[in-house]
Amino acid sequence: MLVSMRRILDLAEANKQAIGAFNVSTLEGLMGTLQAAEELKQPVIIQFAQVHESIIPLEVMGPIMVDMAEKANVPVCVHLDHGEDLDYIKKALDLGFTSVMYDGSALDFEKNVANTCIAVEMAEEYGASVEAEIGCMGREEFGSVGAEGDAVESMYTDPNEAKEFVGRTGIDALACSFGTVHGLYLTEPKLDFDIISAIREKAQIPIVMHGGSGVSPEDFRECIKRGVRKINYYTYAAKAGGENVKKHCDEADGVVYFHDVAAWGREAMKADVMAAMKVFAGME
């Protein structure tokens, strides 16, 4: 069933868990993610990132996401990830997305506040929720090429700024920077857990971790204990799908059919998403 982000975050809060927010840039990723959620009976967030417009347009993927969310037998929020401009956010809301992220993190603080307030006002008309970001989580073009390195400490979210930002914008969830980056890590991530606790205490808001791929189960658990309630995850699932396709293609002797390629990708992405969901839900 299609639900708002607020509903999903309430469930996460009640269960002291985080809900996985999986970027779906292909039908295989979408189907694998929903199958994983239904098998584990877990609520889930399926999200489309504006940067994936070059893989498949929002107009094509969005209606399929909403339709499949409505038919799912677990709560599913359909979210726009890293919406960079307000027109694009409006497009997602018009398609029936129940949550949007306005990413003004590259702007100065006042401009980020002003634009986020517009996004909140727009989303309210649709009964949708809003996530916004302060701090910086590395390059935006997460996924196939990966991130260039560690997060820069000077870009970590300032808890006092977070408090002011949340108070002035009225957002539902805050994406914070505390050591994770989008894409593949070149060195092991070192997370600053105290930042999570401080933001949580001051801003009293569900915290969103971006760059979930490559974080260890122990670190996920610590982040969740301190108040992370939504975990964005993409690169490792996409990589698992690609690696399984490669393995089968390498082993094949003779013709390879694309419908098999799609199935190999979907199976591996589903398994990877399922493993992540189990950690986020405290099932292991």
What size, in residues, is the chain?
Answer: 284
Nearest residue to 68 (alpha-carbon basis) of 116, 33, 42: 33
Chain position carrying tokens 């999570």? 196
Residues in 134-153 at the binding interface with ligand 13P, rule: CB under 6 A: 142-143
Is residue 212 within the footprint of ligand 13P (CB under 6 A)? yes
Q: How far is CA 94 from CA 59, 60, 89, 100, in A?
A: 10, 13, 9, 11
d(Cα 167, Cα 90) in Å, to the nearest integer?
23
Q: How many residues contact ligand 13P, by CB under 6 A?
A: 15
Q: Helix H segments across the chain? A: 5-15, 27-40, 58-71, 86-94, 109-126, 159-169, 193-203, 217-226, 235-251, 258-280
CB of 180 to ligand 13P, least distance (A): 7
Question: Is 81 marked active-site?
Answer: yes
Closest CB to ligand 13P among 29 and 183? Answer: 183
Q: Lay out the site mask for ligand 13P across 222-241 (x = CB under 6 A, - = otherwise).
A: ----------xxxx------
**Which one among 163, 210, 226, 266 touches ligand 13P, defined by CB under 6 A?**
210
**Which one among 81, 131, 158, 172 touches ligand 13P, defined by CB under 6 A?**
81
**Which one among 206, 211, 227, 265 touches ligand 13P, defined by CB under 6 A?**
211
Copy the structure tokens of residue 13.
């809060």
CB of 22 to ligand 13P, least distance (A): 9
Active site residues: 81
Binding site residues, ligand 13P, CB under 6 A: 23, 81-82, 142-143, 182-183, 210-213, 232-235
